[in-house]
Amino acid sequence: MQAAPWPPADAWFQSRGWTPFPFQHEVWAAMAEGRSGLLHATTGAGKTYAVWIGALARAARTGVPLAGRQSPPLTVLWVTPMRALAADTDRALALPLPALAPAWTHGLRSGDTPGAERARQDKRLPTVLVTTPESLTLLLTHAQARERLAAVQTVIVDEWHELVGNKRGVQLQLALARLSGWNPKLVTWGLSATLGNLDQAMAMLLGPARRRPAARLVRGATPKALRVDTLLPREPGRFSWGGHLGQQMLQPVVEEIARSGTTLVFTNVRSQAEAWYQMLLDARPDWAGEIALHHGSLDKGVREWVEAGLKAGSLRAVVATSSLDLGVDFLPVERVLQIGSAKGVARLLQRAGRSGHQPGRESRITLVPTNTLELIEAVAARRAVAARRVEARHAPDKPLDVLVQHLVSIALGGGFTAEALYEEVCRTHSYRELTREEFQWALDFVCRGGDSLRAYPEYHRVAERDGRYVVEDRGIALRHRLQVGTIVAESSMLVKWLSGGTLGQIEESFIARLNKGDCFVFGGRVLEYVRTQDMAAYVRKASGRRGIVPSWAGGKMPLSSELADATLEVLDDARQTDWLRADIDPELQAAQPMLDAQLRLSRLPTPDTLLVEQFRSREGHHLFVYPFAGRHVHLGLASLLGWRLAQARPNTFSISINDYGFELLAAEAVDIAALLDHSAFEAGDALLQHVLASLNSSELALRRFREIARVAGLVFTGYPSAPKSTKQLQASSSLFYEVFRKYDPANRLLGQADAEVLAQELDLRRLRAALQRMQRQRLAHVQLRAPSPFALALMVERFREQLTTEKLADRLARIVADAERVLAEPAEPAAPAASPPRRRKTPRPRPAAHLYDD
């Protein structure tokens, strides 16, 4: 066994009956040498003690006292992305201290920290502090920030994959640059279990500067098994659509929970979690008190009660969202069920790791399909996991709203000189290409409000005094500290009992749609809405009535490129499969009726073939395209393709999208010549202009600007006792947007809003890649006699926006019956193989056998 760089570490491990893994020794040695780096290992492999023992070893080597009567100043910062993780992390860090560093103190600092504890920390910070990016930035706003943080020699960033791709990660990059400026020998380590681009992720954490000694990337290989299987529906059917199998899968889920130990049931969105919790209780009323619900909108006390029950093993099952994705250690959890698609390999691995969360124990995740296509996706997910095809994450490129906020924070924290701070900011990955002109614009904006706000003193937040930039106004300082951070969500309201007590938070826009007496589901209860008062919704328990399930913003996440590509590969295999083989995946066997129906009515898309279907009904002319690029990209593709087709021949289109493709429903016949010769898929220099022209880009940009305005400090969200409503915030940000457009069109925050629409709302990078792939693919064009299974799933997405549940069921019954009649007819000869598109003539659309209408 490799010798430990710090013998007490091995001794402590042995005292607990543990043996350090080689990767843990590697991290300890690297940290003792003063190296920064990134540790990538599976969930539950032992990452925490790899870097924590390494931090203690480094402290011992650099002369920081580990024992004695006086505790050292703040030496180690542990940054976690979620407050829910902080308490568990603090307990894990405290465990070896009596044996290895008895003089060290430990503590938490986040938005949940009580005022009395904050006051104690303001007098003297603990030796190791577990905190969040926002609370770390708040520490930097103190006038004595440098004196309080100068002794920090190690920073650990937990769950780096959760931060690297968003503005919270950028905020953390800026804070780390500040700390490394005060201590050039600062050692920084990131932890992750689910990253596909490890070298780049490490560079995003540590910045572009060359480090001495060189940074270290450690891959923690441990003997940990991962099992991915699927609960199969009894009757998957030949036609399926989003949510089609949900009710059918309830009983198998109940049976699986009944015969397992503690089970986590993951959903992708809070509304789905509420619905499944109610379904489980309706199916097994005797489980009341044994199953629970956990998501981010529930009251902190409720969440803590659920987490304690999981740790104690007293709960049979918990229905949860991403609020339980990350590194909270629940050893009793035996099984993990994933309702519907996990949408990405990284998320699947993260959730699987909640079971068997310990080195050497098997992790198992069981997928629960909600439609038949998710059976195909389950096979793809298992193969992608086996091949470690994990999604890459990329940091935002120089977001100026975060920079503007940072300038005010640093001006509060003792002030800065322009040149020194510019050089410091450029040491981060996200701002490595920031020009001096861009930095000066941000500085002018916080000092004078830019070109259009010069006459308003409240936007002159930073003042220059003898070459140093500081904040002098106490009111500005207070307002800034109250809204430090980059998490921007729709305004929330507290949900309170009329009789007293708080249930949690819900989005204001949902409550605004309710009338007195309406019922809704929240926290696993059916509630009756009574009134709104002081940004709180007052409710009472509803008596025997069913309620609507709230919807939260940002509900639908797109299928990742890696999982989409793997799904196309599975479809290609299925197209060529000998169904008599014994080694066929059970999910493919269950999906065979749907696959056969798709092949009879149309074709299967493949990595090399782009499937395009046409169909005519009383609604109009349907065009279905299946790029398998995820819903965000499909929104952009559908809008772009409709716009380009309309340039050649004026037409009006309705759009429907899902993760597999999109539908264009046209009033007039669609001339698809531009598809057949691939000109509609042009991805050249004009793409940006065409995308913006095809969408209501100004409305999308306004929506993005509302968030940018809050991060940049233009819009104040209110004091804790008097928060502003969504209408007030939207009105304020919309006013700024219009003023800047009219009087300050060169304002760089406007340009950022446009850029974020393309990068985040539409994922322009992935959209361009999808178009380039579509140009290379052979085009398989099919004129449908009845909607194919793939086409029907897209039609249902549109019907749901227009029809009640009863009318939707009636219409679907007619469409499926018609398709079944077509399938019952003698099979026609197979269509010729897809050929190069330029050799094809545009076919004439043929009416369907039946026309669908209400």
Q: Could you tell me where the DSSP H helices lie in 576-608?
A: 586-601
Measured between alpha carbons, how far is 605 from 609 in angstroms, rounded to an integer? 6
Q: In what order do the strands lie in the sheet with 363-368?
A: 226-230, 363-368, 335-339, 263-266, 317-320, 291-294
Residue in 559, 570, 661 with CA at minimum distance from that of residue 382: 570
Which tokens hold the place of 328? 């909270």
Strands 609-617 and 653-657: unpaired
Measured between alpha carbons, how far is 679 from 533 in angstroms, rounded to an integer? 57
Which tokens hold the place of 747? 């304002």
Q: Which of 209-218, 240-249, 782-791 has the highest mean pLDDT?
A: 782-791
pLDDT value, residue 78: 97
pLDDT value, residue 840: 37
Contacts of 335 (CB under 8 A, 6+ apart): 256, 257, 260, 261, 262, 263, 264, 355, 364, 366
Whole-structure pTM value: 0.85
Q: How confident is the model at residue 488 (pLDDT cuts 50, 70, 90)?
A: confident
pLDDT tens digits, residue range 631-665? Answer: 888 988 888 888 888 887 788 788 888 999 999 99
User: Does the pLDDT value for residue 331 go beyond 70?
Assistant: no
pLDDT tens digits, residue range 207-216? Answer: 987 777 899 9
Q: Among the listed ranges 141-145, 272-276, 323-327, which one has the minimum average pLDDT value?
A: 323-327
Measured between alpha carbons, how far is 653 from 637 in angstroms, rounded to an integer? 13
Contacts of 634 (CB under 8 A, 6+ apart): 627, 657, 658, 659, 661, 662
Question: Mean pLDDT for the chain?
Answer: 86
Higher-pLDDT residue of 807, 851: 807
Element (H, E) at 190: strand 187-192
pLDDT value, residue 759: 81
Strands annotated E in 54-94: 76-79
User: Does the pLDDT value for residue 142 go beyond 90?
Assistant: yes
User: Does the pLDDT value for residue 512 go beyond 80?
Assistant: no
Element (H, E) at 93: helix 83-94
Which tokens hold the place of 730? 């939207």
Q: How confident is the model at residue 851 (pLDDT cuts 50, 70, 90)?
A: very low
pLDDT tens digits, residue range 574-608? Answer: 888 776 676 789 999 999 999 999 999 999 999 99
The two counts, helices (H) then strands (E), for the chain are 31, 27
Which tokens hold the place of 538? 């007052």
Which tokens hold the place of 71? 């505790």
Q: How many of the other CB atoms lie within 10 Å of CB of 436?
A: 11
How remote is the C-alpha of 198 from its chain's centroid?
19
CA count, 13 A, side-chain hemisphere, 32: 17
Q: How many of the other CB atoms lie within 10 Å of CB of 315?
A: 25
CA count, 13 A, side-chain hemisphere, 736: 30
pLDDT tens digits, residue range 418-431? Answer: 999 999 999 999 99
Residues of the chain above pLDDT 70, percent: 89
Higher-pLDDT residue of 841, 784: 784
pLDDT value, residue 85: 76
Q: How confident is the model at residue 451 (pLDDT cuts 50, 70, 90)?
A: confident
What value, to the nearest 5°, has the Cα angle with vertex 442 and ends 439 and 445? 150
Q: Could you tell me where the DSSP H helices lie in 230-319?
A: 250-258, 270-283, 300-312
Q: How far is CA 797 from CA 240, 246, 274, 368, 557, in A?
A: 12, 16, 21, 20, 15
Higher-pLDDT residue of 838, 528: 528
Question: With contact defined as beta carbons under 8 Å apart, do 740 and 570 qualify?
Answer: no
Measured between alpha carbons, how far is 566 from 390 in angstroms, rounded to an integer? 11
Question: With contact defined as beta carbons under 8 Å apart, do 342 and 316 qualify?
Answer: no
Strands 37-41 and 216-220: parallel
* Residue 163 main-chain phi, psi, to 5 deg: -110, -30
Phi/psi region, residue 6 (left: phi>0; alpha: psi -120 to 50; beta: rest), is beta
User: Does the pLDDT value for residue 2 go beyond 60?
Assistant: no
- 397 burial type by CB count under 10 A (0-12 exposed, 13-18 middle, 19+ buried): middle
Q: Among the listed ranges 32-41, 60-69, 92-101, 537-546, which one has the minimum average pLDDT value?
A: 537-546
Residue in 458, 162, 186, 199 with CA at minimum distance from that of residue 322: 162
pLDDT value, residue 805: 67
User: Does the pLDDT value for residue 500 go beyond 90?
Assistant: no
SS3 string, 112-158, reads CCCHHHHHHHHHCCCCEEEECHHHHHHHHCCCCHHHHHCCCCEEEEC
- Interhelix angle for 400-412 vs 748-756, to 10°? 130
How remote is the C-alpha of 653 from its chain's centroid?
31
Instruction: Check the CA dihedral 111-555-353-302 and report its sign.
Output: positive
Question: With contact defined as beta carbons under 8 Å apart, do 826 and 853 qualify?
Answer: no
Q: How confident is the model at residue 4 (pLDDT cuts 50, 70, 90)?
A: low
User: Does the pLDDT value for residue 845 go beyond 60?
Assistant: no
Which tokens hold the place of 472? 């002098």
Q: How far apart are the first and last CA of the chain?
A: 74
User: Does the pLDDT value for residue 854 go beyond 90?
Assistant: no
Q: How confident is the model at residue 848 (pLDDT cuts 50, 70, 90)?
A: very low
Residue in 770, 774, 771, 808 with CA at minimum distance from that of residue 792: 808
Average confidence (pLDDT) over 16-29: 92
How remote is the C-alpha of 199 from its chain's centroid?
21
Average confidence (pLDDT) over 449-460: 88
User: Does the pLDDT value for residue 217 go beyond 50?
Assistant: yes
* Residue 153 main-chain phi, psi, to 5 deg: -115, -15
Instruction: Check the CA dihedral 197-198-200-202 and report its sign.
Output: positive
Measured between alpha carbons, how far is 56 from 62 in angstroms, rounded to an integer? 10
Which tokens hold the place of 778? 């052979």
Measured between alpha carbons, how far is 405 from 707 in angstroms, rounded to an integer? 13
Pairs from 11-17 (Cβ < 8 Å, separation ≥ 24): 12/53, 12/96, 12/99, 12/100, 15/99
Contacts of 251 (CB under 8 A, 6+ apart): 283
Question: With contact defined as beta carbons under 8 Å apart, do 258 and 78 qualify?
Answer: no
User: Does the pLDDT value for residue 535 go beyond 90?
Assistant: no
* Residue 173 main-chain phi, psi, to 5 deg: -55, -45
pLDDT value, residue 832: 44
Which tokens hold the place of 759? 């990068």
Strands 492-497 and 536-541: parallel
pLDDT value, residue 143: 92
Question: With contact defined as beta carbons under 8 Å apart, do 307 and 84 qualify?
Answer: yes
Q: Which of 4-8, 219-223, 610-614, 770-774 has the highest mean pLDDT?
A: 610-614
User: Does the pLDDT value for residue 178 go beyond 70?
Assistant: yes
pLDDT tens digits, residue range 293-328? Answer: 988 778 878 888 888 888 888 999 999 987 776 655
Average confidence (pLDDT) over 260-271: 89
Helix (H, G, I), strand (E, B) or coil at 745: coil
Residue in 619, 556, 589, 668 with CA at minimum distance from that of residue 791: 619
Measured between alpha carbons, how far is 238 from 36 in angstroms, rounded to an integer? 54
Q: How confident is the model at residue 850 (pLDDT cuts 50, 70, 90)?
A: very low
How remote is the C-alpha of 228 from its chain's centroid?
22
Higher-pLDDT residue of 648, 490: 648
Higher-pLDDT residue of 224, 287: 287
